[in-house]
Amino acid sequence: MLLQRIFASVLLLACLGLALMAWPYQAAFSYEPVGPRAFPLLMLGLMGSALLYMVFRPAPIKHSADEPPLDRETLTKIGICVVLLLVFAGTFEPLGFIVASILIGVPMARLYGGRWLPSIVIISLMAVGLYLLFDKLMDVPLPLGVLDVLEN
């Protein structure tokens, strides 16, 4: 338990150092309304709050037999996830955010035991919802790709 708390404390100090480095950052031009430093500060804040919990939690984290071992099946799943994320990166602009998210999200859900119909419905709703959240509410432009004809 002591080692877990020490590890969390060291990572918390690293988060604080990175946040201090990111705070004064100002870009010469900004293409987003919140600016370029909001994302790293938000991620460091979330990570820091989780690390604070790890430092002050009352009981240690106990590992159980439910955790998958690093056997051939688990490593295959990890490899497939990496390939799917690379495909997502390659299809993000040409196909657009919504289509690329559905194209990658459904196989990812199936890989981890999701059924076909719920996977398709939930991933499609999430892709459209995230597109509307980023593009319309937060004014962060995302590519529409093949769905470009729907704009305006």
Where in the sequence is the domain holding 107, given as residue range(s)?
72-150
Structure tokens at 86: 């690379």
Q: Are residues 97 and 137 in the same domain?
A: yes
Helices (H) and strands (E) in the chain, counts: 5, 0
Integer Cα distance of 142 and 136 in angstroms: 10
**Residue 58 confidence (pLDDT) above 70:** yes
Does residue 146 carry a pLDDT above 90? no
78 and 14 part of one domain: no
Assess whether 92 and 126 both reside in one domain. yes
Indicate the number of domains in the chain.
2
51 with 76, same domain: the answer is no
| Exposure b/e, 68-79, CB count within 10 A at least 16 = b | eeeeeeeeeeee
pTM more than 0.75 = no
Confidence check: pLDDT of 116 > 70: yes
Are 76 and 143 contained in the same domain? yes
93 shares a domain with 135: yes
